[in-house]
Amino acid sequence: MRILVTGVAGFIGMHVAVRLLADGHEVVGIDNLNDYYDVGLKQARLNHIGTPNQFHFHKLDLADRDGITSLFADKNPQIVINLAAQAGVRYSLVNPYSYMNSNLVGFINILEACRHFGVGHLVYASSSSVYGLNEEMPFYEGQNTDHPLALYGATKKANELLAHSYSHLFNLPTTGLRFFTVYGPWGRPDMAPMLFADAIINHRPIKVFNYGQMKRDFTYIDDIVEGVVRIAMKPATPNNDFEAKAPDSASSKAPFRVFNIGNGQPVPLMNFINALEKALDQTVEKEFMEMQPGDVVETFADTKRLRDWVGYQPKTNIHIGVNVFVDWYLANYHHDRE
């Protein structure tokens, strides 16, 4: 099939594109290559995808309505996997308008294009951040998600609501995927694994928030990709058991679904740091600090609905995932283990 992947120069987008190409699909990739972080890394990801006959890259911003419309008219994708977004919780405190343009204006442009050009299935990245103030563990998709703690999570919740309206009004199958702390090779340099690895290698202290009393449902990139691809191949359908008097927020009478993709095994932050130290054969000085605004103490994904829908759940052990990440980091950032 011809599949459009937005944010194709991003961490998850690159891996999804590589997998889809390996499976024999044609991939149209778009990315605006903005400078939120190292553009060189984004270009290196595109180079990693390569330029086979089945991959076509277009530098394009989701907020460019005319550009998006023209692309859909020209390429006519059958499936759209929307992974483009302004990411990061802390950056939203500094530059909120970037989130509005990418995550809201950009998303409505994608929805409109899917509607008008007959796309068979829209899969889009949501986030565990939508759970916000909720502390009932594990997080399951039917829980209330009306209390996000930061603008990033609020925009992801808004994406789910917008998607539902298009599923209801235009019978557009949409599936939102709530990702949980994705890590692995080619990861973002503003996220903990890269920041910590760089500090450990260069003998700098690391900042450990909430005095280390945090847990994250770290999910390895290959597991995320497997979930995304399986979901993409199974378009959302109406929930025939949906009860309008007691509505489930992750399904509907419309072809609308939302799923968690997480490892389902929260790891204490200090354990993750220890795994990095062991893989790099070095220890690091830790600066224990207060909780950051917009952050949460713990994330924990219930993945039963994902298992029931596509027969899959993430499974990569944290030590295996960290070792693969460290091997990639050392090879690509010209360090060794000496």
Q: Tell me which residues are annotated as active site.
A: 152
**Which among 94, 202, 190 has a CA at the least distance from the CA of 150?**
94
Q: Name the token pair of 79.
A: 């499936």
For 295, other C-beta atoms within 10 Å of its C-beta total 15
Query: Which long-range contacts link 143-149 to residues 24+ away (Cβ below 8 Å)?
Result: 143/249, 144/249, 145/249, 149/89, 149/294, 149/295, 149/296
Instruction: Give dist(CA 214, CA 199) in Å, integer.
Output: 20
Residues 6+ apart with CB under 8 A from 31: 6, 7, 8, 9, 10, 13, 42, 46, 57, 59, 60, 84
Q: What φ, ψ does residue 174 adopt, rounded to 5°? A: -130, 140
Q: What is the CA radius of gyration of the chain?
A: 19
Instruction: Kindly give, in sequence order, each residue whose CB lies less than 8 Å from that of residue 63, ignoring residues fewer than 6 positions away.
Output: 101, 102, 105, 106, 109
Tokens (6 digits) for 221? 């990139």
SS3 25: coil
- Residue 239 is encoded by which pair of tokens? 């929930």
CA–CA dist 172, 236 (Å, integer): 9
Cα distances (Å, whole numbers) of residue 140 to 1, 84, 260 = 32, 24, 7
Cα(82)–Cα(119) distance, integer angstroms: 13
